[in-house]
A and B are shown apart, each in its own frame.
Chain A
Amino acid sequence: GENVEQHPSTLSVQEGDSAVIKCTYSDSASNYFPWYKQELGKRPQLIIDIRSNVGEKKDQRIAVTLNKTAKHFSLHITETQPEDSAVYFCAASVGSGNTGKLIFGQGTTLQVKP
């Protein structure tokens, strides 16, 4: 079945450093790859997404890269701040077209130390 693997499970960085989280997916039909930030007890919040027709997307300190051939995508956060501390999830859409179904990775707990 469809699967998304996410690494690392925990990541600790100093404030101002960069953080990188990587995901691989199995469904070759996946065409939508969102990243969510989730604070304790709250809903996942979409922070950036990328669609299969582009290889990179950037929004201020956050960027996502996609390699469809290798079936992996990555989240890059630069100039990290303590408020970036949270759990981050990657996800991949299931099936071809806009199915509205997502498979999530297991999450990465990011700690930014002041």
Chain B
Amino acid sequence: ETGVTQSPTHLIKTRGQQVTLRCSSQSGHNTVSWYQQALGQGPQFIFQYYREEENGRGNFPPRFSGLQFPNYSSELNVNALELDDSALYLCASSVLHEDNEQYFGPGTRLTVT
């Protein structure tokens, strides 16, 4: 098991609502990347945070936003939820510029009804 934790484990929201997901990175890691994994598909890169700034973004709309805190933990916020946002949201921590290996958290299962 990695030292990366995520909360909550499961979440049910209604279309149009907003959600915040949380991730605590592994000790010593300075970078958090977020991925969306729809059922039956591979994880897709949403964005990455390094030193409290967004450091790269995948093909996701602006209603997906994030934060990183001084202790390197991170939040993913999704506004105006759509049915297609239902997925497993994974965060992964790493050490930028030193190694590409990603340490994944257990994920948050989001269901939008």
Contacts and interface: CB of A to CB of B under 8 A. Distances in A.
A101 B56 contact: yes
B32 to A, nearest CB: 9
B104 A98 contact: no
Nearest to A103: B45
Contacts, number: 71
A1 B59 CA distance: 10
B99 interface: yes
**Interface size class for chain B?**
20 to 34
Contact of B104 (A32, A44, A99, A101): A44
B contact face: mostly helix, strand, loop, or mixed: loop
A106 B59 CA distance: 16
Given A100-B33, A100-B94, A34 B102 contact: yes
* Interface bin, chain A: 20 to 34
A41 B39 CA distance: 10
A104 interface: yes
Contacts of B102: 34, 46, 100, 102
Contacts of B97: 97-98
Contacts of B31: 100
Nearest to B43: A104
A94 interface: yes
Given A43-B105, A43-B106, A100 B43 contact: no
5 contacts: A43-B106, A93-B100, A103-B45, A105-B42, A106-B41
